[in-house]
């Protein structure tokens, strides 16, 4: 695991949220000196209970929050730091949010939604991937049809909407896709379809995933390496096989024991 293989390097990042209610200062250390690497082409799982800082990490990676200290290095360039304003590689990192009901603008057509990320990428890249035949190929790749392009999000089921969100994330041909609990708002039966789609397009588009979840079953099925997050700290980072076979930390054991495993059968 040498450093030049790493697509994303997160180096001792910190994030504290300060809230004030009725004059009382409240400090919440959402992320505590956290470091990890994601290799090219791998699926890195980030698991932990709610409130463990998973979504804060996603927000920090997507430049939606600023770091208190530390650095995030993507593809050899600093993209987030506590000082200065590093250039964020829009289009190279995309995110799929948990709730496709809210992540798609109800007043836009599917075509407008999918093409929106192209607005801030270079003209060359727009030419390369942004033609209508590319859009068509893309939505077919995520399992939708051409006539769906002119419809509005409310005309689709939850699973279909998440497919639209995935297509939108892929339009710029990103290197890294952050999947922030992409299936937890979906029906169980649809979850499996979306997970399989994610697996299929990872091979097709050569993607690297950061998969954030609290569902250990899905993580076991999809991820190459897993980091366990507890109260803003990474308590354990291991390969898939090892973390499920021999969890070292008590917290990891508890987490594994607490989740029913629906994806066990799918592996066979």
Partner 1 sequence: MNLLLRSIRSLIKNRFAASAVIVLAIVFLVGVFAPLLATYSPADTAPKDRLLAPGSLHYFGTDELGRDIFSRILYGTRVSVGIALVAILLSALVGTFIGSFSGFIGRWIDQVIMRITDVLLAFPTLVLALALSAALGASIVNAALAIAVVKLPIYMRLARTQALSISQSLYVKSAKTFGVSSGWVVRKHVVPNLLTPIVVQITLDIGDAILLIATLGFLGLGAQPPTAEWGAMISTGWNYLIDQWWYPTFTGAAIFITVMAFNIVGDGVRDLLDPKSGE
95 binds partner 1 (CB under 8 A): yes
116 binds partner 1 (CB under 8 A): yes
Contact region for partner 1 (CB under 8 A) — 2-10, 28-36, 152-160, 209-217? 152-160
Residue 263 CB, shortest distance to partner 1, in Å, is 26
- Give dist(CA 15, CA 81) in Å, integer: 11
- Exactly one of 119, 137, 248, 253 binds partner 1 (CB under 8 A); that residue is 119
Which CB atom, from 171 or from 228, has the smaller least distance to partner 1? Answer: 171
Site size with partner 1, rule: CB under 8 A = 29
Which CB atom, from 102 or from 132, has the smaller least distance to partner 1? Answer: 102
- The 37-66 contact track toward partner 1, x by CB under 8 A, reads -------------------------xxx--
Residue 2 CB, shortest distance to partner 1, in Å, is 30
- Give dist(CA 260, CA 256) in Å, integer: 9
122 binds partner 1 (CB under 8 A): no
């Amino acid at each position: 695991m040498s450093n030049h293989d790493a697509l994303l390097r997160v180096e001792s990042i910190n994030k504290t949220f300060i809230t004030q209610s009725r004059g009382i200062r409240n400090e919440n250390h959402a992320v505590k000196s956290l470091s990890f690497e994601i290799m090219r082409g791998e699926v890195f799982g980030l698991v932990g209970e709610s409130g463990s800082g998973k979504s804060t990490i996603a927000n920090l990676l997507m430049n939606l929050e600023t770091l208190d200290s530390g650095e995030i290095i993507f593809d050899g360039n600093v993209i987030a730091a506590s000082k200065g304003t590093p250039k964020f590689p829009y289009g190279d990192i995309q995110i799929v949010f948990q709730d496709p009901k809210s992540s798609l603008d109800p007043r836009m057509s599917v075509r407008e939604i999918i093409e929106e990320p192209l607005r801030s990428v270079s003209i060359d890249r727009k030419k390369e991937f942004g033609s209508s035949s590319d859009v068509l190929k893309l939505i077919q790749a995520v399992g939708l049809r051409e006539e769906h392009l002119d419809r509005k999000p409310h005309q689709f089921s939850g699973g279909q909407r998440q497919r639209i969100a995935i297509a939108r994330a892929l339009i710029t041909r990103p290197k890294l896709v952050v999947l922030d609990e992409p299936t937890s708002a979906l029906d169980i039966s649809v979850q499996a379809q979306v997970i399989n789609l994610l697996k299929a397009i990872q091979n097709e588009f050569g993607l690297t995933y950061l998969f954030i979840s609290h569902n250990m079953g899905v993580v076991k099925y999809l991820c190459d390496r897993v980091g366990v997050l507890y109260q803003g700290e990474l308590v354990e980072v291991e390969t898939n096989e090892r973390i499920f076979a021999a969890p070292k930390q008590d917290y990891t054991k508890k987490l594994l024991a607490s989740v029913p495993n629906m994806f066990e059968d799918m592996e066979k």
